[in-house]
Amino acid sequence: MKIKPFVWLILCLSWMTLTSSCGEKRGELRRIWYKGSYNRDFNDLNPLHLEAAQRLGIRPVSSREEAKKASRKMIEIKTNKYYEVEELTHSIPYLVPEAAGLLETIGKNFIDSLQSHNAPHYKVKVTSVTRTVDDIDKLQKGNINSSSNSAHLYGTTFDISWVRYTKINKKDALNIEQEDLKMVLAMVLRDLQKQGKCYVKHERKQGCFHITAR
Does residue 33 lie in a domain region? yes
Q: In the prediction, which pLDDT does 22 show?
A: 41
Does residue 11 lie in a domain region? no
Question: Could you give the CA distance from residue 107 to residue 123 in angstroms, rounded to a whole number?
Answer: 7
Does residue 48 lie in a domain region? yes
Does residue 204 lie in a domain region? yes
Q: In the prediction, which pLDDT does 140 show?
A: 76
Q: In the prediction, which pLDDT does 146 show?
A: 59
The total number of structural domains in the chain stands at 1
Q: In the prediction, which pLDDT does 174 show?
A: 96
Does residue 50 lie in a domain region? yes
Q: In the prediction, which pLDDT does 143 show?
A: 59
What's the pTM value of the predicted model, to 2 decimals?
0.86
Could you list the residue range(s) of the whole structural domain that residue 77 is in? 29-213
Partners of 122 in beta bridges: 167
Q: In the prediction, which pLDDT does 148 show?
A: 72
Local confidence pLDDT in tens for the 214 residues of the chain = 454 544 343 333 333 333 333 445 778 999 999 999 999 999 999 999 999 999 999 999 998 888 889 999 999 999 999 999 999 999 999 999 999 999 999 999 999 999 999 999 999 999 999 999 999 988 877 555 556 789 999 999 999 999 999 999 999 999 999 999 999 999 999 999 999 999 999 999 999 999 999 9
Q: In the prediction, which pLDDT does 9 show?
A: 36
Does residue 4 lie in a domain region? no
Does residue 21 lie in a domain region? no
Question: Could you give the CA distance from residue 119 to residue 188 in angstroms, rounded to a whole number?
Answer: 15
Contact predicate 156/95, CB 8 Å? yes
**CATH number of the domain enclosing 129:** 3.30.1380
| Residue in 132, 202, 112, 164 with CA at minimum distance from that of residue 104 | 112
Q: In the prediction, which pLDDT does 142 show?
A: 59
Does residue 19 lie in a domain region? no
